[in-house]
Amino acid sequence: MNTLGLYVPGSSWPHRLPAGPKLLGLLLAVTGVLLTSAPALVVAEVVLSAGLYPVTRVPWRVLGRHVRALLPFLLVIVIFQLVTAEWQRAVVLAGGLLAAVLLAGLVTVTTKVSAMLALFERLARPLDQVGVSSRRVALVLALTMRCVPLVASAFQECRDAYRARGLGRGSWRLVVPLIVRLVRDAEALGDAITARGLDL
Amino acid sequence: MIRFEGVRHAYGDRVVLHDIDLELAEHRIGIIGANGSGKSTLARMCNGLILPAAGRVLVNDLDTRKQGRRIQRLVGFVFPDADTQIIMPTVAEDVAIGLSRRGLSTSETKRRTTEILARHGLAGHHDHPAQLLSGGQKQMLALAAVLVTEPAILVCDEPTTLLDLRNVRVVARTLHDLDQQVILLTHHLDMLRQFDRVLVLDEGRVVCDDRPEPAIKHYQALMES
């Protein structure tokens, strides 16, 4: 898995499929899921979406992680719909969301970030005509993804430093050191991008 | 070759480099000095990351002020903290992105990536999350990601600061085996024993420019005074 818990290396046919057709397929499939209003069909879609995971040979825990992350939202939706509407509506909404997330997860676990970025760069190429660099758009997306673990680790270090000094959990007091650290990291990252000639 | 001509630089009121005139032509050049002596500013000027407030820096006769793009292709730069140098999520992707502006085919990019990773002890780590590599592996990745672009000169700003002794030796061996001209800033003085020339910086001035042994002695005496 990569730093964002997305791509899982493999050689299954979904892994080998180019990013473009995969994203197009995802778009069509999710549209189909969201247009489905029969509870039985929605349940079938969830089963089918989950059933695609073994094809990719990714570990079951990846599927479990996707479901676990969504569970609180599903619970809220189901409870709210059961209170305000009827169970069929709860199944359609919660099931539709689950199927859509499972399908999206399937694309992300089988597609490298670089392939996604190359696709986004191609899609953004028309923007070159109006002075927006598609390469920079792709670089910004790459950096956004790169920054997630960097921010998480900076937060962890600031919190640990705070605790190590016996000052408790820190809470809002961590904001200033965290921002200072992130600004410093951002500056270093900017220098690295320039030094590697990637901002040209 | 890198040439500093009357280079002066300041951050606000603090002058960090005073009228530096240097020609860096040797194959292996070390730069040592206390924290805040101006080493990093000097190193960053070698590939145009920092432009001098006065004077000029020439790399193979190209002015960093005017030909930054060409110079950044000529001069590779390795930072102290590999974490902030790694841009892409996986090892192979991070190496490959350095080649993305070179107009290479996908297969050629893949070939070069595989080759450089193998050469730097990262074979089999292609799809490994870069974030989860060990400190030594991260620094080797940072080196590989720069070297894959085949720069003529490599500037390394304290690349071993965060490494244990074993990894310091791995990095030292890697730098030793390179064909490129290497300019190394370090506090690991043993890494410089085989170098051709060592500069000692103190308060923004080159106070010693000599063979490794005398230069290191000068530096040690400076630190003890």
Count Cβ atoms below 10 Å from residue B3 Cβ, excluding itself. 17
In the prediction, which pLDDT does A1 show? 43
Which pairing describes strands B197-202 and B205-210: parallel, antiparallel, or unpaired? antiparallel
Two tokens, residue B20: 């530096």
pLDDT digits (tens, 9 = 90+) for B112-156: 999 999 999 899 898 888 888 988 899 999 999 999 999 999 999
| Interface contact B130, partner A, CB < 8 A | yes
Chain B hits for A149, CB-CB cut-off 8 Å, are: 131
In the prediction, which pLDDT does A171 show? 75
pLDDT, mean over chain B: 92
Contact call for residues B184 and B156 (beta carbons, < 8 A): yes
Distance from CA of B46 to the nearest CA of A (A): 10
The helix, strand and coil proportions of chain B, stated in percent and rounded to the nearest 5, come to: 35, 30, 35
Nearest to B89 among A145, A188, A196 (CB): A145
| Interface contact B101, partner A, CB < 8 A | yes
pLDDT classification of B11: cutoffs 50, 70, 90: very high
Distance from CA of B68 to the nearest CA of A (A): 9
- For residues B60-75, one letter each, b for 16 or more C-beta atoms within 10 angstroms of the residue's C-beta and e for the rest, the string is eebbbeebbeebbbbb
In Å, how far are A13, A57, A126 from B125, measured between CA atoms?
22, 19, 35
Two tokens, residue B184: 């190394």
Of A194 and B15, the structure prediction assigns the larger pLDDT to B15
| Interface contact B180, partner A, CB < 8 A | no
Q: What's the rounded Cα separation, in Å, for the pair B60 and B62?
A: 6
Instruction: Average pLDDT across each block of 10 residues of chain A; the chain has 200 residues. List them in order.
Output: 64 91 94 93 94 88 84 92 91 94 91 85 88 84 80 84 74 85 87 80
* Apex A93 CA angle, A90 and A96, nearest 5: 135
- Percentage of chain B lying above the pLDDT 90 cut: 74
Single pTM value for the model: 0.76
Q: Which of A196, A198, A199, A200 would you mutate first to test chain B, the one with the most B CBs within 10 A? A: A196
The H or E element that residue B154 is part of is: strand B153-157
Q: Which of residues 100-129 of A touch B (CB under 8 A)?
A: 112-114
Contact A195 B149 (CB under 8 A): no
What are the residues whose beta carbons fall under 8 Å from the beta carbon of A194, sequence distance 6 or more? B49, B72
Two tokens, residue A165: 């000094």
In the prediction, which pLDDT does A49 show? 93
